[in-house]
Structure 1
Amino acid sequence: MRTAPADPATTLYRDQRAWRELQRFLPARLRLTDETAPEEEFWDWRGHRVHLDRYRDPAAKAKVVLHHGVGTNGRQMSLILGAPLAERGFETVALDNLGYGLTQVRPGTTPSYDDWVDLVVDFLAHERSRDDRPIVLYGLSAGGMLTYHVAAKAPRATLAGIVGMTFLDQRDQRVRDETSHDLFTARMGAPLMGLLARTPAASMKYPMSLASKMSALANDPGAMKVLRKDRTSAANWVSVRFLDRYLNYAPAAEPEDFDACPVLLTQPAEDRWTPHHLSVPVLSRITKVPVDTVMLDNAGHYPLEEPGLQQMQDAIADFVTTHAS
């Protein structure tokens, strides 16, 4: 497994309009230019080419790895966290997991959610093989629970901490009911996906906008228009196999046994998709490591609003400094 510079002929975010249009809805201080955008590179993993946004800083004492959800991508993580945390002296890298962003999936394969977890576990090992700086893993939306799944599966001492925008156990029917596109999908979709996943239809693609409450991804209607058109994020389609495993994934350690590292929830106060009470069933059961929650005032699920953005960046910077120093 290796990291390589992007091939000049490869599609890069520098050539994409979607994130440039989206950042018009962010505060001016967070808007990137060609000069301030992250470096783009690819990491080879099991025949897939995983796209990375990186703010390289060999002098940084800690590294923050950023992971998107099922309606976002790595560049959208760079906008709200990668760049501002880099300005504070942390090295940051945002990845596009299989099927999202600009990552190139190996032809003939149908990745599952298990592959998402394994990819991040291996990526962290790859990063630690390059240097021994402590790493904090951040995940937005579904990426929040992924940070938990990764921390539970990775070798001990891999992570100094995890930060999630949410921590949702999709095995919980209450979570499915509130985060799915509609109640019928919540109650009938999972059993149907389970049946189809054991047939040749497992590779069939389904729009995430019909599986989930994607309409609540952002609170700004203009931003939602941009996101709904972006096939690398909110307008993406995923396989039946992915959805089945995403809904039924069992972690290597249940919350009562989780002792891998400290946990921080950065919860948008105006989240219309995954409100705070949906993360409580997971976080309330974690007692062997510190668990903290910071509410982000005025912020939506994909936070575009102040003061929530500033509060999120401050809270994560403090968390990294405390646990990864």
Structure 2
Amino acid sequence: MDGNGKQPFYNVHMKYWEQYQSFFPEDMRIHGHHLPAEEYWSWNDCPIHLDRFPASNPASSDLIHGAGGNGRLLAPYARLLQTNGYDVVAPDFPPYGLSSVDSLALLDYGLWVQMLADFVEREIQRDGKPVVLFGVSIGGMLAYHAAVKSGGVKGLIATTFVDTSNPSVRDQLAPNKLVSRAGKWIMDTFPCMLD
């Protein structure tokens, strides 16, 4: 919240996302005349920020960001989908972007999955449109797990399907075996500090 007790908005309070626009083709850029509509959804008493890009298509696409990102960073892709007729919504998963939670200790991947599954159900109830999840980076795995949990997802576009519980996969992702093996143990032992 800002100093006045109001929720912040990218379009008004947080302008750093505009720096990324020049990296995209002109027809994907977000400008003043077609900024997304912003709103907050209360999930388990946590304010979850949403960017909405409305259109007339009978299908809806939810864009799911990766770790360290936020929904606004995916705005150029949302704009591309919107210009092709798709309703798009891009949530910020807490603690990233403008979404927040009361305690980071309570936040884990399983809660992200539940949050997204609940959000899919909310969107289906909201307008009845079929939902397609589009996830990038860890958002790809999140989209997959939420689609399975929800049962209401009609399509899935996702990247980065990796099983980090497999030591040989972790060895390929980590800079060396020490980080791969010791890093997993440290993260599992101290999740409140490192998650």
Q: Same fold (TM over 0.5)?
A: yes
Aligned to 1:13: 10
Task: Tell me, yes or no, if structure 1 residue 133 matches structure 2 residue 129.
Answer: yes
| 1:86–1:92 contact (8 Å) kept in structure 2 | yes
Offset at residue 194 of structure 1 (A): 1.6
Q: Which residue of 2 aligns with 1:175?
A: 169
Q: Which residue of structure 2 lines up, in the alignment, with residue 43 of structure 1?
A: 41
Structure-2 change in CA distance of 1:110 and 1:32 (3 Å): same
Give 1:83's aligned amino acid. R
SS at match of 2:63: strand
AA matched with 2:181: R
Cα separation, 1, equivalents of 2:39 and 2:80: 20
Amino acid at match of 2:6: A
The one-letter code of the counterpart of 2:20 is L
Give a deviation string over 1:98-140, Cα, whole Å, max 9, x none.
Answer: 1111102125753111110000000011111112211100100
Gaps of 5+ in 1: 1-6, 205-239, 244-325
* Correspondence 1:185 to 2:179: yes
Residue number in structure 1 paired with 2:144: 148
Cα 1:17/1:189, change in 2 over 3 Å:
same
Match of 1:71 in 2: 68
Specify the code of the residue in structure 2 equivalent to 1:13. Answer: Y
How does the TM-score come out when normalised to structure 2? 0.89
Residues 152, 105 of structure 1: CA spacing in aligned structure 2 closer, same or farther, 3 A cutoff? Answer: same
TM-fit CA distance, 1:12: 1.5
State the shift of 1:165 in Å.
2.1
How has the CA–CA distance of structure 1 residues 82 and 105 changed in structure 2, closer, same or farther, with 3 Å as cutoff? Answer: same
Instruction: Give the Å deviation of 1:182.
Output: 4.7
Q: Helix, strand or coil: the match of 1:13?
A: coil
1:89 to 85, 92, 111: 85
In structure 1, what is the Cα distance between the partners aligned to 2:148 and 2:182?
29
- Aligned residues of 1:145 and 1:169 also touching (Cα < 8 A): no
Cα distance, 1:67 vs structure 2: 0.4
- Superposition CA RMSD, Å: 2.0
**TM-aligned CA distance change 1:96 to 1:164, over 3 Å:** same
Distance 1:194 1:144, change over 3 A: same
The one-letter code sitting in structure 2 at the alignment partner of 1:24 is S
Do structure 1's residue 25 and structure 2's residue 23 form an aligned pair? Answer: yes
- Partners of 2:182 and 2:105 in 1: CA distance: 27
Deviation at 1:141, TM superposition (A): 0.7
Structure 1 stretches of at least 4 aligned residues deviating more than 6 Å after TM superposition: none
Asked if structure 2 preserves the Cα contact closer than 8 Å seen for 1:147 and 1:162, the reply is yes
Preserved contact between residue 95 and residue 104 of structure 2 (Cα < 8 Å): no
Distance 2:185 2:105 in 1: 23
Give the superposition deviation at 1:23.
Answer: 1.6
Q: Which residue of 1 aligns with 2:159?
A: 165
Query: Aligned partners of 1:11 and 1:174: how far apart in 2?
Result: 43
Q: Which residue of 2 aligns with 1:60?
A: 57
Aligned residue for 1:35, secondary structure, equals helix
Shift, 1:69, TM fit: 0.6
Of 185-194 and 134-143, deviating more is: 185-194
> CA, structure 1 residues 37+181, in 2 after alignment: closer, same or farther (shift >3 Å)?
farther
Partner letter of residue 66 of structure 1? L
The worse-fitting range, judged by mean Cα deviation, of 164-173 and 86-95 is 164-173
